Amino acid sequence: MPLPPPITATPLPYEALLASRALTDVDLVVIHCTELPDLATAREYGERVLYDAGTGNSGHYYIDRDGSILQYVALDRVAHHVRGINPRSIGIELVNRGRFPDWFDSRNQHMSEPYTEAQIAALVRLLQWLPEELPSLQWIAGHEQLDTARMPASDDASVEVPRKLDPGPLFPWQDVLKAIPQQPLPL
């Protein structure tokens, strides 16, 4: 039985307003990157209230570049991290610039920041432990696999760009999949 990795609980102010769910309802992990410059900015974005219910967008766990893991939302709460999949999934956000600050500029559709070894090691350890808490957990997917919507580019509305690209081409899928019990979600 894997031991839990060191996790710092830092609940979002609206966590209690998020829908509750049974832990047995969760069968999918979605890997994201923050597409923001640092953890502090990711926290600011997570605290923004965007919905009438008084909640916003966030993942359950955030892994900083140094490998530290913070939990913003309890596993028995539904976080808003990917359209249409939230009730059955947990979101893990890796701090990474992604396309920041011009997410939808057609000239900026590449992700050049590699993930750190400490981040990937922390992610693997978290993914190895999560089945202890989530008995139905069996699948893993990237955000870009689940949200394939396209939208007009911010610099040229006649060009469409992907809404989501994370975790992106620099995420080491093969290494992660070799080390964890979850399998790629059949799409």
CA distance 160 to 175: 32
Amino acid letter for position 178: K
Q: Is the confidence at residue 157, as pLDDT, over 80?
A: yes
Amino acid letter for position 185: L
> Average pLDDT for residues 103-125, to the nearest whole number?
97
CA distance 90 to 80: 9
Residue 1: which pLDDT band, with cuts at 50, 70 and 90?
A: confident
Are 36 and 103 contacting, i.e. CB atoms less than 8 angstroms apart?
no
Q: Is the confidence at residue 166, as pLDDT, over 90?
A: yes
Averaged pLDDT score across all residues of the chain: 97
What the block records as the tokens of 10 is: 């830092």
Give me the DSSP letters along 74-89.
-TTB--B-STTTGGGE
Cα dist from 17 to 78, 87, 131, whole Å: 10, 14, 25
Residue 9: which pLDDT band, with cuts at 50, 70 and 90?
A: very high
Q: What is the pLDDT of residue 187?
A: 77
* pLDDT single digits (tens) 13-28: 999 999 999 999 999 9
Helices in 8-157 by DSSP H: which ranges? 39-47, 117-133, 143-146
Amino acid letter for position 15: E
Q: What is the pLDDT of residue 121?
A: 98
Nearest to 95 by CA among 57, 173, 42, 144: 42
Q: Is the confidence at residue 86, as pLDDT, over 90?
A: yes
Q: Is the confidence at residue 129, as pLDDT, over 80?
A: yes
Q: What is the pLDDT of residue 122?
A: 98
Q: What is the pTM of this model?
A: 0.97
Q: What is the pLDDT of residue 11?
A: 98
* pLDDT single digits (tens) 40-81: 999 999 999 999 999 999 999 999 999 999 999 999 999 999
